[in-house]
Amino acid sequence: MDIDLITQVLFAAIKTGTPLLFIALGEAICEKTGVLNLGQEGMMLMGAVVGFMAAYGTGNAGFGLLGAMLIGMVMSLIFGFLVLHLGANQVATGLALTIFGTGLSAFIGSGVVGQTIAGFQPVYIPVLSDLPVVGKVLFSHDPLVYLAIALALVIAWVANKTRIGLTIKAVGENPNAANAIGIKVLRVRYLAVMFGGAMAGLGGAYMSLVYTPMWVENMTAGRGWIALALVVFASWRIGNIVLGAYLFGLASIMHLVLQGMGWSISPNLLAMLPYVATIVVMVIISADKFKEKLLAPRSLGKPFDPRQMA
């Protein structure tokens, strides 16, 4: 494996990991407040199609991003209303949101199938982009890759160093106690759910504006699920999520690269790695005694009804 190839592979790993990073960051915040939203795939697809249509209609990819975030929030509000307001089961509602988003995105996107847009182009950074190896791997990406990293930094700071972070944590760990000290639990959860929706929309837009600048049905092909596992995998720590996203990115392209090089290792085996990790993690989180070890938010998946508080 020569240095050029390694450079290309690392470059691709970061690109492949970026949509996962967007979604996982949003979902992490959402889960930190105790809400498990399995509707990521549906919100992502809606973000992808609306983002694409907005960018295609206006000729400006920036509007695409905006549209994707907005539709992500709208989708998440539907979810929020059902689980927070009406106390519906989070798992079932999330799954329904995914199915709904998959169908609706195919429906509204049917008119733009087959169209292409320029999408976001890589940015050139003086000096840095020209560096050997590092320049290619780190400094020749499209702006959204940097946006994802910037968002990760901001989110990590907010979650760990600010009052907002503490509020989020309090709501997720013990909503009753948080309520008792005057935190509006449902409001915090609504905001977190909407934030998750906006991020999922961004992740979807990354697919339709940068990764494969087009819209085709079901184009996210399960990335929303991988991102869900990634959050647990990283045990809700933002730093781990960043690392994990790029690692998952690397895992999902590595088997293609090795095949091209003529390795005779079964591609099926390698291709299933990210999914195996996903399943293992999903099994582990559904067992309560592991949850604590993984630092899962204690009220994750449990509804909270302030009216039932004495």
Partner 1 sequence: MKLKSLLVGLGLLAGVGAAQAADDPFKVGFVYVGPVGDLGWSYEHDRGRQELEKYFGDKVETTFVENVPEGADAERVITQLAKSGNDLIFSTSFGFMNPTLKVAKRFPKVTFEHATGYKRSKNMGTYVLRTYEGRYVSGVAAGMLTETNTIGYIGSFPIPEVIRDINSSFMAAKSVNPDVTMKIVWVNSWYDPGKETDAANALMDQGVDVLLQHTDSPAPLIAAEKRGKRAIGQASDQSSFAPTAHVFSVRDDWAPYYIKVTQAVMDGTYEPSDFWGGFQEEMLSLASINDNLPTDVRAKIDETYAKIKSGEFHPFTGPIKDNKGNVVVAEGHTLTDTELAQVNWYVEGITDEIPR
Binding residues for partner 1, rule: CB under 8 A, are 4-5, 8-9, 12, 16, 106, 109-110, 113-116, 207, 211-214, 216-221, 223, 252-253, 256-257, 259-262, 264, 266-268, 271
Go through 197-231 and write b for each residue having 16 or more CB atoms within 10 A of its CB, e for each that does not. bbbbbbbbbbbbbbbebbbeeebbeebbbbbbbbb
- Between 212 and 286, whose beta carbon lies closer to partner 1? 212
Cβ of residue 264: shortest distance to partner 1, in angstroms? Answer: 5
Nearer to partner 1, 81 or 275 (CB): 275
Token pair 């690109």 in the structure block, residue: 15
Q: Cβ closer to partner 1: 15 or 189?
A: 15
The smaller minimum CB distance to partner 1, of residues 36 and 49, is found at 49
Rounded to whole angstroms, how far apart are CA atoms 80 and 90? Answer: 9
Q: Report the nearest approach of partner 1 to the CB of residue 24 (Å).
A: 16
Question: Nearer Cβ to partner 1, position 76 or 102?
Answer: 102
Query: Please, are residues 38 and 194 in contact by the beta-carbon 8 Å criterion?
Result: no
The least distance separating partner 1 from the CB of residue 276, rounded to whole angstroms, comes to 14
At CB < 8 A and 24+ separation, what contacts does 146-152 make? Answer: 147/202, 148/18, 148/21, 148/22, 148/25, 149/21, 149/242, 151/22, 151/25, 151/199, 152/21, 152/25, 152/238, 152/241, 152/242
CB of 280 to partner 1, least distance (A): 20
| Shortest distance, position 258 Cβ to partner 1, whole Å | 9
